């Protein structure tokens, strides 16, 4: 029996059928789940919703359970808990950026577990992936600026699954910029999240090798694309679009890619998109053997390569989707100040919102948010965080 109950009556052992709020209002992986303990109860109460739907056939029925204690001592103890109001207030007023950070962390853990399952010979369970992809797409529609900068936050030993999450978010933003239907965007994003799942079948000594791969090792590495396709074709419920994204993200418009040396429109639209996004995220990432490029420099490289490797019109569309000065990038202003890009203005792509943090004379400034549409200052170039010994994680708009 599905029953609407006040959150105040929620207790461990009940089964949540619906949290009575949108995906972006909570940070649970699913909308339906058993309430495992008091921590789950607290997290649900902190959402600020008054009532939730429960399934009494799959969990406790509050009307059949003993009523909660109502004696004076219990009431006093509850009201005396000092942290509850603060936590609830923080959660209810959490910004989209804070939610994006939570979503990014959770997504990385889910992809890590998924790759571990594949290594153990288990099948990809699409029902574990779809709710996550829905939340990522919802986040992009709410505010892409919040999730995309997190693509820069990668650790060497976690690159594979962090790269997958970043490509997923970037592909969702790209597909949205192309005005694809939301359902197609979810399928594209699903393929992006799973595009490197075949790497779970590549030996760690090759996958994480700090130096240049031998010819034999590189051939083995390239095989991850074929493995990704095989894995996804055996996944019940996967869409052909998602398979194309994974199977074609290393094909190139001029036929120089792999595994099938496809060219032009023989590569699906979604595969051509994935090739651009995969390269962009890879060359902007710090690796043991590769220094990440500033986003604006990476976009310039994509433009150069669009003469052969990538479809020019799609490269132009991708640049529009992330901005000429992508959110999270470091720029130099005419005033010799350095600033981190915070928000995009599609009507004024060269005049984003920024946070001024540093002066090229070599010292930090009192941080100042600046809307360049309403300022005499302007961007004169891009900069590299590392060149100025600035930690990007401290200043990215989280």
20 and 111 in a single domain? The answer is no
% pLDDT > 70, the chain = 84
* Chosen domain end from 322, 347, 364: 322
28 and 77 in a single domain? The answer is yes
* Chosen domain end from 62, 92, 122: 92
146 and 289 in a single domain? The answer is yes
Interval 5-46: pLDDT, tens: 888 899 999 998 878 765 555 667 666 788 988 888 888 888
The CATH number assigned to the domain holding 219 equals 1.10.3210.10
* Mean pLDDT score, 47-68: 75
Instruction: Write down the pLDDT at residue 66.
Output: 47
pLDDT over threshold 90, residue 217? yes
pLDDT over threshold 90, residue 151? no
Q: Of 46-50, 133-137, 293-297, give the range with the top mean pLDDT.
A: 133-137
Instruction: Write down the pLDDT at residue 73.
Output: 36
Alpha carbon distance 93, 307 (integer Å)? 47
103 and 222 in a single domain? The answer is yes
Cα dist from 110 to 126, 146, 162, 220, whole Å? 12, 20, 10, 26
Strand order in the sheet with 33-34: 2-6, 51-55, 15-18, 33-34
Three-state DSSP at 206 gives helix
Instruction: Write down the pLDDT at residue 29.
Output: 60
Residues ≥6 apart with Cβ < 8 Å to 269: none
Cα dist from 119 to 101, 124, 158, 166, whole Å? 27, 11, 16, 22
19 and 116 in a single domain? The answer is no
62 band by pLDDT with thresholds 50, 70 and 90: confident
Three-state DSSP at 342 gives strand
Domain residue limits at 362: 330-395
Q: Do residues 166 and 150 make contact, with C-beta atoms less than 8 angstroms apart?
A: yes
Instruction: Write down the pLDDT at residue 105.
Output: 82
Instruction: Write down the pLDDT at residue 50.
Output: 80
Mean pLDDT, the chain, rounded, equals 84
pLDDT over threshold 80, residue 387? yes
Half-sphere exposure of 148 (CA within 13 A, CB side): 29
147 and 241 in a single domain? The answer is yes
As for how many domains the chain has, the answer is 3
Interval 162-181: pLDDT, tens: 899 999 999 999 999 999 99
% pLDDT > 90, the chain = 49
Three-state DSSP at 183 gives helix
210 and 153 in a single domain? The answer is yes
Q: Do residues 351 and 345 make contact, with C-beta atoms less than 8 angstroms apart?
A: yes
Instruction: Write down the pLDDT at residue 36.
Output: 87
* Chosen domain end from 92, 118, 150: 92
Instruction: Write down the pLDDT at residue 75.
Output: 35
pLDDT over threshold 70, residue 89? no
317 and 276 in a single domain? The answer is yes
pLDDT over threshold 90, residue 313? yes
pLDDT over threshold 90, residue 197? yes
Q: Of 72-86, 216-230, 276-290, 342-356, give the range with the top mean pLDDT.
A: 216-230
* Mean pLDDT score, 191-213: 90
* Both tokens assigned to 209: 């090798």
Q: Do residues 339 and 330 make contact, with C-beta atoms less than 8 angstroms apart?
A: yes
181 and 223 in a single domain? The answer is yes
Instruction: Write down the pLDDT at residue 31.
Output: 66
* Mean pLDDT score, 218-241: 95
49 and 71 in a single domain? The answer is yes
pLDDT over threshold 50, residue 284? yes
314 and 344 in a single domain? The answer is no
130 and 241 in a single domain? The answer is yes
Least Cα distance to 370 among 350, 341, 327 occurs for 341
């Amino acid at each position: 029996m599905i029953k609407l109950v006040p959150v105040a009556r929620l207790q461990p052992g009940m089964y949540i059928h619906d949290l009575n709020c949108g995906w972006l209002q909570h940070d649970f992986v699913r909308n339906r789940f058993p309430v495992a303990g008091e921590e789950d109860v607290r997290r649900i109460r902190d959402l600020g919703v008054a009532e939730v739907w429960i399934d009494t056939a799959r969990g406790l029925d509050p009307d059949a359970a003993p009523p909660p204690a109502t004696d004076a001592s219990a009431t006093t103890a509850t009201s005396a808990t000092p942290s509850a109001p603060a936590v609830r207030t923080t959660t209810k007023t959490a910004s989209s950026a804070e939610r994006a950070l939570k979503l990014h962390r959770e997504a990385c853990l889910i992809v890590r577990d998924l790759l571990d399952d594949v290594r153990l010979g288990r099948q990809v369970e699409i029902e574990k992936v779809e709710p996550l992809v829905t939340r990522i797409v919802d986040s992009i529609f709410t505010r892409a600026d919040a999730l995309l900068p997190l693509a820069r936050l990668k650790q060497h030993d976690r690159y594979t699954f962090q790269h997958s999450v970043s490509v997923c978010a970037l592909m969702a933003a790209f597909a949205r910029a192309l005005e694809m239907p939301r359902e197609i965007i979810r399928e594209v994003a699903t393929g992006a999240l799973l595009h490197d799942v075949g790497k779970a079948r590549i030996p760690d000594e090759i996958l994480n090798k700090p130096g240049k791969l031998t010819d034999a090792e590189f051939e083995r590495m390239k095989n991850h694309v074929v493995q990704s396709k095989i894995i996804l074709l055996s996944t019940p419920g996967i869409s052909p679009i998602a398979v194309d994204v994974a199977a074609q993200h290393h094909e190139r418009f001029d036929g120089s890619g792999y595994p099938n040396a496809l060219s032009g429109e023989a590569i699906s639209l979604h595969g051509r998109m994935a090739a651009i996004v995969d390269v962009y995220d890879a060359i902007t990432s710090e690796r043991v053997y590769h220094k990440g490029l500033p986003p604006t420099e990476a976009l310039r490289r994509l433009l150069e390569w669009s003469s052969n490797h990538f479809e020019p019109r799609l490269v132009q569309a991708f640049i529009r989707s992330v901005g000429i000065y992508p959110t999270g990038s470091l720029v130099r202003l005419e005033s010799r100040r350095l600033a981190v890009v915070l928000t995009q203005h599609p009507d004024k792509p060269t005049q984003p919102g920024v946070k001024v943090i540093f002066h090229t004379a070599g010292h930090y400034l009192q941080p100042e948010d600046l809307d360049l549409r309403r300022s005499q200052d302007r961007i004169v170039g891009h900069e590299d965080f590392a060149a100025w010994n600035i930690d990007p994680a401290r200043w990215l708009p989280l």
